[in-house]
Amino acid sequence: MISHLIALRGRVITCIREHKKMISVIVTALISSYFLFSLVFSDLGLIKYVSMKREYNRIRSDISRLEKENKGLKEEVKALKTDPDYIEGLAREKLGLAREGEIIYKFMEKDKEK
């Protein structure tokens, strides 16, 4: 029994020595495949990176749009606090107000369906 194990061990060692180059290529290919798979599909992989980059760009454009909107609103608030002409124009436009003695004409649009 022991002699069979020793003989088997000798054949395995001989087989490994004869196929050493092929085994190293296979091991290298497996390790490389694992790293490539991890690079592309892991939580920090390329697919996740592209997705996160797209989300980052969308958020940056939202921030830019909101900053412009915020600036416009601040300017409007300043005008409402300090510019009587702006307030008057807004009251005329939104509320239909007029000065004493002025007449407001409102024109009705014709229905386009008729």
The answer as to whether 107 is a domain residue is no
CA dihedral 27, 30, 36, 39 (to 10 degrees): -90
> Number of folded domains in the chain?
2
pTM confidence score: 0.52
If you count them, how many residues does the chain have?
Answer: 114
The answer as to whether 105 is a domain residue is no
Domain containing 25: what range? 1-41
| 40: Cβ contacts below 8 Å, ≥ 6 apart | 46, 47
Q: Are residues 82 and 64 in the same domain?
A: yes
Q: Are residues 48 and 36 in the same domain?
A: no
The answer as to whether 65 is a domain residue is yes
Percent of all residues in the chain with a pLDDT value above 70, rounded to a whole number: 97
Reference 82, options 70, 71, 74; nearest CA is 74
d(CA 114, CA 82): 47
Q: In the structure encoding, which two tokens stand for residue 5, read together?
A: 């194990």
Q: Are residues 36 and 54 in the same domain?
A: no
pLDDT tens-digit readout, 4-47: 778 888 888 888 787 788 888 899 999 999 988 888 888 888 88
Q: Are residues 47 and 37 in the same domain?
A: no
Which three-class secondary structure state does DSSP give residue 53?
Answer: helix
